[in-house]
């Protein structure tokens, strides 16, 4: 399983919703943009699709029941694909053939492609209109990622999962580290130098300093921590920007000498979560979904979170995993499709869908979903990062397969299969080639 797939699989609740919607009305088949014909009773069927497993559906039932009660004239019909990798190719085929659902989930590394193809309906007029339950101002600009183009909105964030550094207090203490990263962050002293110093002490104590999944959220958060750039004015500058190269070289060196561990390469029976809860690593990069792993392994009080550090200790934008709900441009029921979309992503909708889950709401006003329970101690960090964070860069998300190709090339460098300088040259050629084909 790739890092990106693992990350999306763990977004929990709303990012992996499944068959409970529409009281399990089946997966449907090929047909027009809405295969539910208006019946004599005036009912309309809205087809919608997402990825995920049947085990992740329970949290969605409350929203389904509430929506059905409010809108007895609308029947929801979910079309689910279990695999993230299989979902988007199927959706692209459906959109091309005119058989796509009315409302669709789209991942943050695919939304730019669908926007560029012109297959999604613009939403701004409806979002600002009288029937909207989710106005543009309710969301945070950075998490739109590739869902906006030229100021036009084509997708609305369902929910988020900001990338943070979880830390194990016992592992840090075992390595002789007495400073608390979260306390350092609050006092403006959480610097990249301090973080790397802690990683070195953890390695000297026979532990991993940090465990990362190989995806843009972790990689680009480290880049930001060094003050580097990945994209600039539509150009991929990660291989030429000195600070970005420094960040990538630090990761490459850390993987080579085992200061860092790649979660993608750890054995399934002794993977990242297991290593972390067994105090074999000081830091574990992930989202709010890590709570589930900690709950399976023991003491909640032994863990807390901190943002990725910066050069100066001042807050920096962090990566935010996101997915989007969008309306098929060719739906035959645009009014009902928008009703579903706006209620799904509204404050009330997210409170129903995400309660008890492990995602972070994308909308203002639902912060209690994260802060209730006071866990972790610095849970507000998730909200701070969401508010100033960024989803996958639009320039990258607009090119199908580009994010995965970048991740795969970086993995060759992390594993030492390709030398650093040669790997950077190959990375630039890869991006330029894929961007050129797109153009």
| CATH number, residue 365 | 3.40.190.10
Helices (H) and strands (E) in the chain, counts: 19, 14
- Is the model's pLDDT at 413 over the cut of 80? yes
Q: Which string of DSSP letters, residue by residue, matches 70-108? A: H-TTEEEEEEEES-HHHHHHHHHHHHHHT---SEEEEET
pLDDT at residue 196, rounded to an integer? 98
The tally of domains found in the chain comes to 2
Q: Cis (ω within 30 of 0) for the bond into 56?
A: no
How high is the mean pLDDT of the chain?
89
Instruction: Check: CB of residue 191 under 8 Å from CB of residue 271.
Output: no
Crossing angle of helices 242-256 and 216-225, in 10° steps, is 120
What digits encode the pLDDT tens for the residues 21-43?
A: 333 333 333 345 554 555 556 79
Question: Domain of 142?
Answer: 3-162+321-388
- Is the model's pLDDT at 190 over the cut of 80? yes
pLDDT at residue 13, rounded to an integer? 33
Residue predicted with more confidence, 380 or 82: 380
What digits encode the pLDDT tens for the residues 117-163?
A: 999 999 999 999 999 999 988 999 999 999 999 999 999 999 999 99
Instruction: Check: CB of residue 93 under 8 Å from CB of residue 388.
Output: no
pLDDT at residue 56, rounded to an integer? 62
- Please tell me whether residues 120 and 242 are part of one structural domain: no
**CA angle in degrees (0–180, nearest 5) for 87-90-92:** 110
- Is the model's pLDDT at 438 over the cut of 80? no
What digits encode the pLDDT tens for the residues 343-358?
A: 999 999 999 999 888 9
- Please tell me whether residues 255 and 305 are part of one structural domain: yes
Residue 394 lies in a domain: no
What digits encode the pLDDT tens for the residues 356-396?
A: 889 999 999 999 999 998 899 999 999 999 999 999 999 99
- Please tell me whether residues 87 and 186 are part of one structural domain: no
- C-alpha span between 213 and 389 (Å, rounded): 18
- C-alpha span between 116 and 378 (Å, rounded): 39
- Is the model's pLDDT at 18 over the cut of 50? no
- Please tell me whether residues 71 and 127 are part of one structural domain: yes
Q: How many residues does the chain have?
A: 439
Residue 365 lies in a domain: yes
| Nearest one of 323, 276, 389 to 91, comparing CA atoms | 323
Instruction: Check: CB of residue 112 under 8 Å from CB of residue 146.
Output: yes
- Please tell me whether residues 151 and 168 are part of one structural domain: no
pLDDT at residue 200, rounded to an integer? 98
pLDDT at residue 297, rounded to an integer? 83
pLDDT at residue 37, rounded to an integer? 54
- Is the model's pLDDT at 8 over the cut of 70? no
Confidence of residue 299 (pLDDT cuts 50, 70, 90): confident
């Amino acid at each position: 399983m790739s890092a990106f797939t693992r990350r999306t699989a763990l977004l929990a609740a709303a990012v992996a919703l499944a068959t409970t919607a529409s009281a399990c009305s089946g997966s449907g088949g090929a047909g027009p943009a809405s295969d539910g014909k208006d019946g004599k009773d005036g009912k309309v069927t809205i087809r919608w699709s997402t990825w995920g497993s049947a085990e992740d559906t329970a949290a969605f039932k409350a929203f389904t029941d509430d929506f059905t009660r409010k809108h007895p004239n609308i029947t929801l019909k979910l079309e689910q694909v279990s695999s993230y990798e299989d979902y988007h190719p199927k959706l692209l085929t459906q959109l091309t053939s005119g058989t796509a659902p009315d409302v669709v989930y789209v991942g943050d590394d695919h939304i730019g492609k669908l926007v560029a193809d012109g297959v999604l309906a613009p939403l701004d007029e409806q979002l600002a209109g009288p029937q909207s339950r989710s106005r543009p101002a309710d969301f945070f600009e950075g998490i739109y990622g590739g869902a906006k183009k030229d100021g036009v909105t084509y997708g609305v964030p369902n929910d988020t999962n900001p990338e943070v550094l979880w830390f194990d207090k016992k592992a840090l203490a075992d390595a002789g580290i007495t400073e608390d990263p979260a306390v350092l962050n609050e006092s403006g002293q959480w610097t990249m130098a301090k973080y790397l110093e802690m990683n070195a002490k953890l390695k000297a104590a026979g532990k991993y300093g940090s465990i990362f999944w190989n995806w843009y959220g972790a990689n680009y958060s480290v880049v930001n921590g060094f003050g580097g750039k990945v994209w600039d004015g539509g150009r991929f500058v990660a291989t030429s920007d000195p600070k970005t190269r420094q960040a990538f070289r630090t990761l490459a060196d850390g993987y080579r000498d085992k200061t860092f561990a790649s979660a993608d390469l750890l054995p399934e029976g002794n993977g990242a979560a297991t290593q972390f809860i067994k105090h074999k690593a000081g830091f574990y990069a992930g989202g709010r979904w890590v709570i589930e792993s900690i709950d399976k392994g023991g003491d909640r009080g032994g863990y807390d979170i901190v943002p990725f550090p910066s050069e100066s200790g001042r807050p920096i934008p962090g990566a935010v995993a996101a997915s989007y709900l969008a309306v098929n441009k060719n739906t035959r029921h645009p009014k009902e499709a928008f009703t579903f979309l706006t209620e799904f992503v509204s404050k009330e909708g997210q409170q129903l869908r995400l309660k008890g889950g492990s995602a972070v709401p994308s909308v203002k006003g639902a912060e209690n979903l994260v802060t209730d329970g006071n866990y972790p101690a610095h849970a507000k960090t998730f909200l701070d990062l969401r508010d100033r964070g960024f989803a996958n860069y639009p320039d990258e998300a607009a090119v199908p397969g580009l994010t995965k190709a970048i991740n795969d090339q970086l993995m060759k460098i992390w594993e030492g299969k390709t030398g650093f300088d040669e790997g950077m040259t190959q990375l630039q050629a890869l991006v330029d080639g894929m961007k050129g084909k797109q153009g």
